[in-house]
Structure 1
Amino acid sequence: MKVLRLVLAIIVVSLSSYGLITDTSEVIIPYILLFLGTMLFVTGIIEFKKRKPTAITLMLASGFSFFVTIYTLIS
């Protein structure tokens, strides 16, 4: 799980950097949010064993990120 979180973090940073360098942020933002939501979800699963309030907060942030991604892709 920790390797998955690291890979997702690298993908998010890479996409964000690419969007800033090429000035195509409006096209890439839904994909960044999708990977960010997935990363938050995986982190929430990892933290659920240690600290439950932190895990619940991460799950809520992940749900919000997924909602924004779907809303952005639809409109």
Structure 2
Amino acid sequence: MLKILRILLAILTGSFALYGMLSDDFSYAPLMLLFMGGMILIMGIEEYKNNKKGLASLLVAVSLFIFYTSFETMLHW
């Protein structure tokens, strides 16, 4: 289940990034960051399940920073 969700979030992130690059319209960048944060959070959960606690902690911390950046950007949207 987590793998399917991670792949779905990766596709959404890539789609928003590709749209921004091709159209030079970066108004959807906060949504791209939101989906990327979710993808990295799921990667952290998967690493935690594989008993790689150090890498899992790093991934969760990075995802929290990306969520903060996304929400901060949405406030100024």
Aligned partner of 1:52 in structure 2 is: 53
Aligned partner of 1:20 in structure 2 is: 21
Aligned partner of 1:7 in structure 2 is: 8
Q: What SS does structure 2 have at the residue aligned with 1:24?
A: coil
* Cα distance in 2 for residues equivalent to 1:14 and 1:72: 19
Residue 38 of structure 2 corresponds to residue 38 of structure 1: yes
Q: CA deviation at 1:18?
A: 0.7
Runs of 4+ aligned residues of structure 1 deviating over 2 Å after TM superposition are: none
The percentage of counterpart residues that share the same residue type is 36
* Cα distance in 2 for residues equivalent to 1:11 and 1:29: 12
Compute the RMSD of aligned alpha carbons. Answer: 0.7
* Cα distance in 1 for residues equivalent to 2:45 and 2:36: 14
Q: Which amino acid aligns with 1:47?
A: E
Q: What SS does structure 2 have at the residue aligned with 1:42?
A: helix
Q: Which amino acid aligns with 1:7?
A: L
Q: Deviations over 1:4-38 (max 9, x none)?
A: 1011111111110011111102x011000000000
Aligned partner of 1:71 in structure 2 is: 72
Q: Which amino acid aligns with 2:9?
A: L
* Cα distance in 1 for residues equivalent to 2:3 and 2:71: 26
**TM-score, structure 2 normalization:** 0.92
Q: Which amino acid aligns with 1:72?
A: T
Q: Deviations over 1:14-67 (max 9, x none)?
A: 110011111102x01100000000001111111102211110000000000010
Identify, as 1 or 2, the structure richer in helix: 1
